[in-house]
Structure 1
Amino acid sequence: MKNLILTVIAVCSLNTIQAQEISYKKWVKEAPRLEDSFFTTPKAKEVAETVLLYQQPTGGWPKNINFFQTPDNKEKALEIKNDVNASTIDNGATTTEIIYLSRLYNATHDETYKEAAIRGLDYLFEAQYENGGWPQFYPRPKGYYVQITYNDNAMINVMNLLRDVSNGKSPFTYLPESTRQKAQKAIDKGVECILKTQVKQHGKLTVWCAQHDRETFAPAKARAYELPSLSGAESANIVIYLMQLPNPSAEVIQSIES
């Protein structure tokens, strides 16, 4: 009987975890696929109210939240909102919200959404290290969260967004030239970081790891089971990003071919 009870508890716990994962994944996967017509509906503004509710004082957002659902407990939501250590670019956080609010601003011309999106962009600019890398969490002061993070495409998601900003691509057509230039500078620094973190083995350039030390650029560990290792999926998306650069330098070309 005891074993049966433990099994039931374990299954229920697993189902809860899976439901939570599906919940936030629905947001990060479905939000970019929304039709433009959606942003003229009352539902779009309802979702935005939840997005704005969770935006942190840093300008960034916490991860693993399904903004399609209105929070049952707003007090708990405010606790998360004010925990600035939760601001992150992991699991599609912050970049997804900036894009959503920008699309809604274009549809409604409500300055509230524009201002929130710009605060999100300012967070991304501030979170970037001088060496060009982005940590998984900012301003979290310690732990593996501070390392330069390619894991789950965290840094590449940011650089893809900033590329659209710098090019004045929709939904960022409303941004001024000064912001576009700032985005381009951040991209240039990010590319430099990518080149510096490419792992060299036996004198030859290979690929990248999920995390790299923010000071030495060396491969770095994350959780106990995430040891330094060459990362296939993340490296593939880094290469794709580099291949899309206009007028790539000889160093970028060498990096791609390697």
Structure 2
Amino acid sequence: MKKYIVPSLAALMAAAFLTTAQAKEIGMNVPSPPLNEARITELAGPQSKAWLDYLARSKARMTADQDALLAERKGLTTIPAEPATGNGEATMPLKAEAAWYKTPEARAVADSIVSYQTPAGGWGKNQPYNVPPRQKGQAYVGGNENRVNDPANFDRPLIDKWSYVGTTDNGATITEIRYLARVAAQNPAEAAPYHNSIVRGIEYLLAAQFPNGGWPQVWPLQGGYHDMVTLNDNAMEGVISLMRDAGAGQAQGKGDFAFLPDALKARARAAEQAGLKALLAGQVVIDGKLTLWPQQYDPLTGQPTSARNYEPPSLSSTESAGILMYLMQRPDPSPEEVKAVHAGVAMLKQLKIDGYVFKRVEGDDGRRLHAQADAPPLWSRYYDMKALKPIFSDRSKQIFDTVDDVSAGRRNGYAWFSTSPQKAIETYEGWRAKHPQVK
């Protein structure tokens, strides 16, 4: 996949910018292009067969997953209620004391996790596991019964009552695998079901990897922006880091993944390398210079794309910071990796906002930027890829150059600004001494 070079913001958004002086918005967000046979045949070139095979495997796997649930429900007089939804990650702590993973409480969570694994090997998002194991015929993932099929919503369900059934969104699948590995390591005599589930989970992620090394948000593919290479919420970085730990990181037979078969470790190492190559190719070039990464991009063209209605194609500071942290953790970075880090951190430094906090004060209808002399550095989540200035959007798909024009509900309910990139900059200060600029 070629590194994407920005031609113009208008071309990227594929939408006419408004020209009237009175208009508040500076553009309109449009949905991501489909990943289908027609576009693959047109755009994938020599890799068309690999992409078409991938698409066929995804469709077959989707059918198999749905058939498995239907088979369970055959003959049932009552279909069990949907699984609970909520803060799933809170029920799977990864930094507890080692002894805690031996407790009945920890084991019960692990048993629940195993029970909710989809036939393909993944897990849904926002799923708490401090609940009883899944019942026969119960949906694998909660929250699908009441999804509204709104044609104007980029996140509308394209398959009735079947969405996010196997995903890396919000840390799903990645967190389940890591948690099971912690429990298995502390309970070696009873580890077999957890080991089996972990292997299936890693096999699932390997099957989901695109031919170009990236990963979609949901697999089997469910359509829409979920089929794009997804960096959003550090999804792809999370998968690559897991592959690192499952493969190269555990090559000496140590750690939570030491039990994995050597052949699977080798495949994990290869997946990490392919994913790393895709990450480097996804760093956006503007005026001949490397900058940051988008939240997601078209796997066939490398172009940044939209996600939800209020998530336009752009440079994303928070996702870029996560990628930079991953790259700086690599022990022997290549010249290309070193160049990517220097350029990415330089851009974060250029884009930071000093002297402001994003909060709500008395009299505001929602959060706004307010001057504060001692405020820590702040970054907008999204930056226009031409002007390198903050941009914001809304459920209406309108794109604005000020957060004040976003509706109060969306202004309060989304992380439009963040201080998290500062950690990448601080880490860089020590890293750069060992890795000087590559000319």
Q: Which structure would you say has the larger Rg? A: 2
**How far apart are 1:66 and its partner, in Å?**
1.1
Taking structure 1 as reference, are residues 83 and 20 closer, same or farther at Cα in structure 2, changes over 3 Å only? closer
Write 1 or 2 for the structure with the bigger share of helix. 1
Equivalent in the alignment of 1:91: 170
Residue type of the partner of 1:174? Answer: F
Equivalent in the alignment of 2:200: 119
Query: Are the counterparts in 2 of residues 199 and 208 from structure 1 also a CA contact under 8 Å?
Result: yes
**How far apart are 1:97 and its partner, in Å?**
0.8
Residue type of the partner of 1:78? Answer: A
TM-score (norm 2): 0.51
Q: Residue 107 in 1 paired to residue 186 in 2?
A: yes
Q: Residue 185 in 1 paired to residue 270 in 2?
A: yes
Deviations 1:123-174 (A, max 9, x none): 1111111111010001124110010011000011111111111211521111
Query: Are the counterparts in 1 of residues 127 and 141 from structure 2 also a CA contact under 8 Å?
Result: no
Query: Are the counterparts in 1 of residues 215 and 229 from structure 2 also a CA contact under 8 Å?
Result: yes
Q: Residue 133 in 1 paired to residue 229 in 2?
A: no
Query: Are the counterparts in 2 of residues 24 and 64 from structure 1 also a CA contact under 8 Å?
Result: yes
Equivalent in the alignment of 1:80: 141
Q: Residue 255 in 1 paired to residue 340 in 2?
A: yes
Structure 2 counterpart SS, 1:226: coil
Equivalent in the alignment of 1:142: 223
**How far apart are 1:79 and its partner, in Å?**
4.9
Equivalent in the alignment of 2:98: 36
Q: Residue 209 in 1 paired to residue 316 in 2?
A: no
Deviations 1:200-244 (A, max 9, x none): 111111000000111111101011111011100110111111112
The equivalences for 1:47-86 within 5 A come to: 47-70=109-132, 74=135, 77-80=138-141, 86=165
Match of 2:323 among 226, 238, 246: 238
Taking structure 1 as reference, are residues 42 and 196 closer, same or farther at Cα in structure 2, changes over 3 Å only? same
Query: Are the counterparts in 1 of residues 181 and 257 from structure 2 also a CA contact under 8 Å?
Result: yes
Residue type of the partner of 1:254? Answer: K
Residue type of the partner of 1:198? Answer: Q
The equivalences for 1:147-226 within 5 A come to: 147-166=228-247, 167-168=249-250, 169-226=254-311
RMSD: 2.2
Q: Distance in 2 between matches of 1:102 and 1:79?
A: 21
**How far apart are 1:61 and its partner, in Å?**
0.3
Structure 2 counterpart SS, 1:234: helix
Query: Are the counterparts in 2 of residues 86 and 140 from structure 1 also a CA contact under 8 Å?
Result: no
Query: Are the counterparts in 2 of residues 135 and 146 from structure 1 also a CA contact under 8 Å?
Result: yes
Query: Are the counterparts in 2 of residues 53 and 77 from structure 1 also a CA contact under 8 Å?
Result: no
Residue type of the partner of 1:26? Answer: A
**How far apart are 1:83 and its partner, in Å?**
5.0
Q: Distance in 1 between matches of 2:132 and 2:111?
A: 9
Greater relative contact order (Cα 8 A, min sep 6): structure 1 or 2? Answer: 2
**How far apart are 1:20 and its partner, in Å?**
5.6
TM-score (norm 1): 0.85
Q: Distance in 2 between matches of 1:200 and 1:206?
A: 6
**How far apart are 1:249 and its partner, in Å?**
1.5
**How far apart are 1:106 and its partner, in Å?**
1.8
Structure 1 counterpart SS, 2:258: coil
Taking structure 1 as reference, are residues 79 and 54 closer, same or farther at Cα in structure 2, changes over 3 Å only? closer
5+ residue gaps, structure 1, are 1-18
195-204 vs 166-175, which deviates more? Answer: 166-175
**How far apart are 1:75 and its partner, in Å?**
6.2
